[in-house]
Structure 1
Amino acid sequence: MRKKAIIFDLDGTAVDSPIHNLPSERLVRAVVALQKDYWMCAATGRGWSCGKDVLRALRLKDPCVIAAGTQICNPQTGEILWQKNMDAADAKRVIEIFREYPESHMLCNDYSLDDYLSKNFRVKDYVFPETVFFLELIDLPENVVQVIAEKIRKIEGLACIAPIGQHNSAHRDIHVINVDATKEQAIAEILKMMGVERNNTVGIGDGGNDIHLFNAVGKRVAIGNAIEKLKGLADLVIRSVQDDGLAEYFESLS
């Protein structure tokens, strides 16, 4: 019976996106080799449609955190095992803030990789659904991100995360989710599902949103290309994603 879990980020940790959107063969072999002894779970900001190719390529079988912590899914079928929606009134307030930037590009709930990379949706044209669990603005300058984030963080029931964007490393995206649906809370739910104690978990990440991941695990591992703040919180820093650092680390555990 497996009593330990490894939970790792995708972009910037398992894959060097957007340059390489699929994991290396070496990493896939390392993941498969560990599955007999560890629960192997991804925790990503990507939704199902955007992340399914990576999750399946990694041959993951155990529950994974997707959509920045708002959902837990079966990584092979996409079945949603857990979901945390925004309060309707909170979502309405965020949408009002987004509409102050009508030309900005955005995403809502589930979306494809092409939707993200091609920036297919503008705020001014978007028809919002009644149920919202994830909202995102894409590719914004730092000064705009700060203004929007400050407004959203005044809404008590929401969390606002601003990871580095995939379009321009000097820009950021904004993820808006229920305050009880970050990677931290979703990982806690996964550990309950699997019957694993927090002190028997390892978390690996690279970005600011992985601080929530670190808060949920026993051992904290930062990839070599991680932001300095995350490295400062880590128990161990491994080689970068460009050097297949995650695969090398997994091989050391076999």
Structure 2
Amino acid sequence: MNLFKKYPYVITDLDGTIANEGYAINDETYEALQTYQLVSDYHLFLASGRLDLMAKEYFAKLKVKTPIISCNGALIRDPISNEVLYQQTLPQDLAIEIIMKALEHDIDHIVYTANMIYGHPHSKRIALMMKYNEQLIDESYRIPLDTETNYLTLLKNNDIQALKILFPFTSQAELDRVQAINEPFKDQVEGVFSQKDLFDIQSLDINKGNSFKKLCELKGYDPHQFIFYGDNYNDLELAKSVGYTVAMGNSILELKKIANATTVSVDDNGVREHLFTEVLTKDQIAEFLPQVKNVFK
């Protein structure tokens, strides 16, 4: 099959799709995406629940030149110019009230803004980000973290605006506590699982699908010419907005039901498997794969 002829653009999720639980992309998946970049003249797009500044290493290694959809659609930013093309933050009063409740009940949470991530130094999720930062050779790829500043005060003073508030959880009991915080605001905010152990709260009607449509309008792309790879609940609306959706083997059932195809899991390099068997031709792979090591040094 040669899906590339009909769908010349690829947009992919990050975590659970091309990146595993350790924030790492396997070399084999990198190689396939880099090959696609050469074949397509750099038509790879990324859409993530993460803040784009958390994935600078990926952008560099993949030579991403297209606008990045991040924070589940709350932000679209150009990775080359750093121009913000679109941004939708949580209403300030709601962000403050939600955070106050989380602090009152000692519930782990992380606040995402366009330029910084704020959290408690004892947060397990923050610890994972710090561990990622520590192993980086190139410090310019570091995730911007602030575990010391009182972010509630910053919000109250209108010094920062929250794109989303992330709630990590490790048990049903912890999830119940998170849901109890979300419940009073459920008609005023958007709540979604970005991973199996992460729940995000952000501005109403914010999702990857709506932001993708906005990006297509801004840049003149045809949404039906895109292939999308995803795995979780925050991918559902984007999956409905493109021409062809591929669910990962580790995807939620709801995504598999609406996808055009299902590939193998992220750990088994599912995106590579699909790109090399269904999207690109053997001739394209034979021509461009050998060039990858020279272009992506």
Tell me the equivalent position of 1:223.
Answer: 248
Q: Secondary structure at the match of 1:162?
A: strand
CA RMSD of aligned residues (A): 3.0
Per-residue CA deviation, residues 198-251 of structure 1 (Å, 9 max, x unaligned), is: 322222101121112213223221011212222122110012222222123223
User: For 1:143 and 1:161, how far apart are their aligned partners in 2?
Assistant: 18
User: For 1:33 and 1:61, how far apart are their aligned partners in 2?
Assistant: 12
Q: Secondary structure at the match of 1:86?
A: coil
> Structure 1 stretches of 5 or more lacking a match?
166-171
Tell me the equivalent position of 2:285.
Answer: none
Query: Residue 253 in 1 paired to residue 253 in 2?
Result: no
Q: Which amino acid aligns with 2:44?
A: M
The answer to whether the 8 A contact 2:8-2:40 is kept is no
Measured after TM superposition, the shift of residue 54 of structure 1 is: 1.6
Of 93, 99, 104 in structure 2, the residue corresponding to residue 100 of structure 1 is 104
Query: Residue 27 in 1 paired to residue 27 in 2?
Result: no
Give the 3 Å change call, closer, same or farther, for CA 147–212 of structure 1 in structure 2: farther
Q: Secondary structure at the match of 2:86?
A: strand
Query: Residue 132 in 1 paired to residue 162 in 2?
Result: yes
The answer to whether the 8 A contact 1:106-1:123 is kept is no
Query: Residue 111 in 1 paired to residue 134 in 2?
Result: no
Give the TM-score normalised by the residue count of structure 2: 0.71
Tell me the equivalent position of 2:173.
Answer: 143
Per-residue CA deviation, residues 156-211 of structure 1 (Å, 9 max, x unaligned), is: 3310112336xxxxxx2221111232111111111112312332222210112111
Q: Secondary structure at the match of 1:99?
A: helix
Give the 3 Å change call, closer, same or farther, for CA 103–236 of structure 1 in structure 2: closer
Q: Secondary structure at the match of 2:53?
A: helix
Q: What is the percent sequence identity of the aligned residues?
A: 20
The answer to whether the 8 A contact 2:26-2:269 is kept is no
Measured after TM superposition, the shift of residue 57 of structure 1 is: 1.7
The answer to whether the 8 A contact 1:145-1:162 is kept is no
Tell me the equivalent position of 1:73.
Answer: 77
Q: Which has the higher helix share?
A: 2
Measured after TM superposition, the shift of residue 29 of structure 1 is: 2.4
Q: Secondary structure at the match of 1:209?
A: helix
Measured after TM superposition, the shift of residue 136 of structure 1 is: 1.2
Give the TM-score normalised by the residue count of structure 1: 0.82
Tell me the equivalent position of 1:169.
Answer: none
Per-residue CA deviation, residues 74-103 of structure 1 (Å, 9 max, x unaligned), is: 234543221111112222232233223325
In our comparison, the structure showing a higher alpha carbon Rg is 2
User: For 1:226 and 1:44, how far apart are their aligned partners in 2?
Assistant: 15
Give the 3 Å change call, closer, same or farther, for CA 76–250 of structure 1 in structure 2: farther
Measured after TM superposition, the shift of residue 4 of structure 1 is: 4.5
Of 227, 231, 238 in structure 2, the residue corresponding to residue 202 of structure 1 is 227
User: For 1:234 and 1:123, how far apart are their aligned partners in 2?
Assistant: 43
> Structure 2 stretches of 5 or more lacking a match?
1-5, 119-124, 131-144, 281-297
Q: Secondary structure at the match of 1:163?
A: strand
